[in-house]
Amino acid sequence: MLGYTDRRHQLGEHLKSYGSQVASNGMLAPTILIDGGVVGTWKRTLKARSISIRVKQFRQLTAAEKRGVFKAAERYGQFLGRESVVEFANG
């Protein structure tokens, strides 16, 4: 995502939504990709014993896709030595 000035292929109809996720310094929000397309962004909040991950969905994710997000969040939490907690929001 970072190497492309035109992100239409990856973002499709969500190009405008994602544009609001780019910081003033040009840094992109952490992105969730499924089958090569962006389906949302995520933000973490570290707590003493856990990591809270808020997922902003660009479209409603299927149950299988959500399981994949939970699994990835669990691995990330294990890497950090914390329990992961995932919250989904529509974007």
Considering the chain, what percentage of its residues have pLDDT values greater than 70? 68
Q: Is the pLDDT score of 79 beyond 70?
A: yes
Phi and psi at residue 81, in whole multiples of 5°?
75, 30
Q: Which secondary-structure segment (H or E) carries 77? A: helix 63-80
Q: Which pLDDT tens digit goes with each residue over 46-73?
A: 999 999 999 989 889 999 999 999 999 9
As separate numbers, helices (DSSP H) first and strands (DSSP E) second, the chain gives 3, 4
Q: Whose CA is closest to 29, among 5, 55, 4?
A: 55
Identify the residue with better confidence: 89 or 15: 89
Predicted model pTM: 0.71
What is the model's pLDDT at position 38? 80
What is the pLDDT at residue 35?
87
C-alpha 51: how far from chain center: 14
**Which CA distances in Å does 89 have to 6, 21, 43, 66, 81?**
26, 14, 11, 12, 25
β-strand 37-46 against 83-90: which pairing, if any?
unpaired
